Chains A and B, each alone.
Chain A
Amino acid sequence: MNYLKVPLWLLPSPVAVAKALWRTRALLWTNTLTTVWETTTGFILSVALALVAGLAMVLSPLLKRLFYPLLIISQTVPLIAVAPLLILWLGYGLLPKIVTVILVCFFPVTISLIEGLEVSDPDLLNLLKSMGATRWQILYTVRWPNALPSLFAGLKIAATYSVMGAVIGEWLGASSGLGVYLTLSSHSFLTAQVFAAIFAITVLSLVYFVLIAGIRHLALPWLNTKDN
């Protein structure tokens, strides 16, 4: 196997990674559960926040002028620079990790929601107005369903990023989680375990992605029909 004489601690073979996965499965599982908890909570909270912020900014141009630039700027601040501050302010518990997840997820969901709400066909809005529809009726009969495909695109991005957010949060100080497992393994030169953690993170991200794709399939049935 090891023709190039790469030492095992530098680049372990897939077999070694699989063995590490199996050997530390109990540990990996409890750490994964912590990360799942942080990610899911953070994700749901960021979606809720994004819905409120997105709707508010679409309904009020003033709010949009005030907060849209802030939203963009907030994304240019590197997460890795903010995370230690969060640990400093919020301690080593779950809260700072949930906040990092929100920082990662909030942006794509909000932006995709705003974009989606603002692209309705003007002729369609005109038709609804001619029927005497109120602002709210136009919002929930046209603009909201029209925004859903875009919103789900944002949710998919957020879902795959969310695990990364939690792991970065855990890196900087936590007692449990995939980020902790990753740091501990890396500091002990247990490279096979590092890859095992990467594997777990990837699988977890994929699970979230598939979950969102499944919800989209159920929630947007008109996009599943074959054109005639």
Chain B
Amino acid sequence: MTLLLRDLSLTYRDYGSAGVNVLENINLEVPTSSFVSIIGPSGCGKSSLCNLIAGVEEPDRGEILLDGRSILGLAGQVGYMPQKDLLLPWRTLLDNVSLGCDIRRENKRESREKARLWLDRFGLGSFAGHYPQQLSGGMRQRGALLRTFLFGRTTLILDEPFGALDALTRRDMQEWLLDVWSQSDPTVVFITHDIEEAILLSDEIVVFSQRPARILARIALPFSRPRNPDLLLSPEALAVKKQLLGLLRGRP
């Protein structure tokens, strides 16, 4: 599904009369089955953008179109994954992964069958009956990602999903995400503050400015898929990295 953001602006007014400008005229097109990362300084309004696309908040101005249809203020249209895994402690991994299907009131048996299939395919099958507190951080994050994936299917908004993981687990998760992504090609908006992560995963990187967030630059990444972490050592990747570091420090 093609995700189109048109002239999005958002101001928070509950900090007194002046209000805080969070987003200013964001225009962005995320083509079908592409992986677009958004990178920017912390507190620049990336999470607010996620909330807008997820339909939890509404902007002051602008449009959000999914395949030409407005999804402004409509929840349940995309799969949204926040930084915390937010697995429900009283649900087993299988039931957690199927949470979105339950919210959609899908047939319980079918949704569990489908979830089990995905858990098996991604090496979590033997943990289906475990509660989240019995799983490692990486496994919980995988569970959260599969939950998002089973709910969103075609469009995923991932808000720093690996931000809380240690470097090794994170690298693991990145490869795993590429694996999941390659098996069904969803459209992905990926928020991160990790430059290498963005280079490794994305088709395009969008750089946000300080608040109020504007789009500073859009960098297309020409690397072929499937990708290998070694590409981060190639001269092209290093050039992109240098460019990104400059942009984030405020020196283009």
Where the two chains meet, the residues of A that have a C-beta atom closer than 8 Å to any C-beta of B are 121, 123-124, 126-133, 137, 141-142, 145-146, 148, 220, 222, 225-228
26 contacts between A and B (CB under 8 A): A123-B84, A123-B86, A126-B82, A128-B103, A130-B56, A131-B76, A131-B80, A131-B103, A131-B151, A132-B76, A133-B75, A133-B103, A137-B103, A141-B102, A141-B103, A142-B88, A145-B90, A220-B90, A222-B89, A222-B90, A222-B91, A222-B131, A225-B133, A225-B134, A226-B134, A228-B135
- B9: chain A residues within 8 A (beta carbon): none
By a CB distance below 8 angstroms, the chain B residues around A220 are 90
List B residues 73-94 near A (Cβ within 8 Å). 74-77, 80, 82, 84, 86, 88-91
Q: How far is the CB of A147 from chain B (nearest CB, A)?
A: 11
- We find that the number of chain B residues with CB closer than 8 angstroms to chain A is 28
Is the Cβ of A227 less than 8 Å from the Cβ of B134?
Answer: yes
- In whole angstroms, how far apart are the Cα atoms of A6 and B136 in the complex? 63
Contacts of B134 in A (CB 8 A): 225-228
Interface string of B125-137 (1 = CB under 8 A from A): 0000011011110
Contacts of A142 in B (CB 8 A): 88
B contact set with A: CB distance below 8 Å: 51, 54-56, 74-77, 80, 82, 84, 86, 88-91, 99-100, 102-104, 130-131, 133-136, 151
Contact between chains at A222 and B133 (CB < 8 Å): yes
Candidate in B82, B90, B135 with the most chain A CB atoms within 10 angstroms: B90
Q: Are B136 and A228 in contact (CB under 8 A)?
A: yes
B55 near A130: Cβ-Cβ < 8 Å: yes
Given contacts A130-B55, A220-B90, A222-B90, contact A227 B133 (CB under 8 A): yes
- Determine the chain A residues whose CB is within 8 A of the CB of B86 once the complex forms: 121, 123-124, 127
B103: which A residues are within 8 A, CB to CB?
128, 131-133, 137, 141
Interface of B is mostly: loop
Chain A positions within 8 Å of B88 at CB level: 124, 141-142, 145
Residue of A nearest to B83 (CB): A123
User: What is the distance, in angstroms, from A220's C-beta to the closest C-beta of chain B?
Assistant: 7
Question: CB < 8 Å: which of B54, B90, B104 contacts A130?
Answer: B54
CA distance A123 to B88 in the complex (A): 12
> 10 closest A-B pairs (Cβ-Cβ)?
A132-B76, A130-B54, A132-B75, A130-B80, A145-B90, A222-B131, A131-B103, A133-B103, A222-B90, A129-B56
Assess the A130–B131 pair: CB atoms within 8 A: no
Q: How far is the CA of A128 from the CA of B77 in the complex (A)?
A: 12
CA distance A149 to B214 in the complex (A): 45
Decide if A127 touches B80 in the complex (CB within 8 Å): yes
A129 to B103, CA, bound (A): 10
Residues of chain B within 8 A (CB-CB) of A130 are 51, 54-56, 75-76, 80
List 16 extra interface pairs beyond A130-B75, A131-B75, A137-B103, CB under 8 A. Answer: A127-B80, A127-B86, A130-B55, A130-B80, A131-B99, A131-B104, A132-B55, A132-B103, A141-B102, A145-B88, A220-B90, A222-B89, A225-B130, A225-B133, A227-B133, A227-B134
Q: Which residues of B contact A133 (CB under 8 A)?
A: 75, 103
Identify the interface centre among A127, A142, A146: most chain B CB within 10 Å of its CB: A127
- B82 in contact with A123 (CB, 8 Å): yes
**B135–A127 CB distance below 8 A:** no
Contacts of B89 in A (CB 8 A): 222
Please, how many angstroms separate the alpha-carbon atoms of A146 and B100 in the complex? 18
Distance, CA A127 to CA B148, complexed state (A)? 10
Q: A228–B135 Cα gap in the complex (Å)?
A: 7
Chain A contacts of B136 at CB under 8 A?
Answer: 228
Q: Tell me the bound Cα distance from A141 to B88 in angstroms.
A: 9
Decide: A141 near B82, CB < 8 A? Known: A130-B56, A132-B76, A227-B134. Answer: no
Q: Looking across the interface, which residue of chain B has its beta carbon closest to that of A126?
A: B56
A residues within 8 A CB of B91? 222
Minimum CB–CB distance for B94 against chain A, Å: 13
* A141 proximity list for chain B (CB < 8 A): 88, 99, 102-103
The distance in angstroms between the C-alpha atoms of A228 and B137, with both chains bound, is 11
CB pair A129–B75 under 8 Å, yes or no, is yes
Q: How far is the CA of A196 from the CA of B178 in the complex (A)?
A: 72
Please state if A131 and B100 are interface contacts (CB–CB under 8 Å). yes
Q: Give the most central of A130, A132, A226: most B CB within 10 Å.
A: A130
- Residues on the B chain within 8 Å of A228, using CB: 134-136
For the complex formed, measure the closest distance between the CB of A95 and the CB atoms of chain B, giving whole angstroms: 38
